[in-house]
Amino acid sequence: YLATEGLWATEMFEINAPNKALRKQILKSLLDMTRKAN
């Protein structure tokens, strides 16, 4: 479930964050959150 939610969030950010630097930062945050959750 967490993985699916993360993928959904990533897709949303792909659409909403054209700024690549911002997107990278968001993806890093998502990965950190996912690691802590597991």
> What confidence tens digit (pLDDT) does each residue in 1-38 have?
566 777 777 776 666 556 677 778 888 898 888 888 77
- CA gap 18, 23 in Å, rounded: 7
Q: In whole angstroms, how large is the CA radius of gyration of the chain?
A: 10
Between the alpha carbon of residue 24 and those of residues 20, 21, 30, 38, the distances in Å are: 6, 5, 10, 21
Residue 7 belongs to what domain range?
2-37
Residue with tokens 């959904």: 8
How many Å apart are CA 36 and CA 18, to the nearest integer?
27
User: What total number of domains does the chain contain?
Assistant: 1
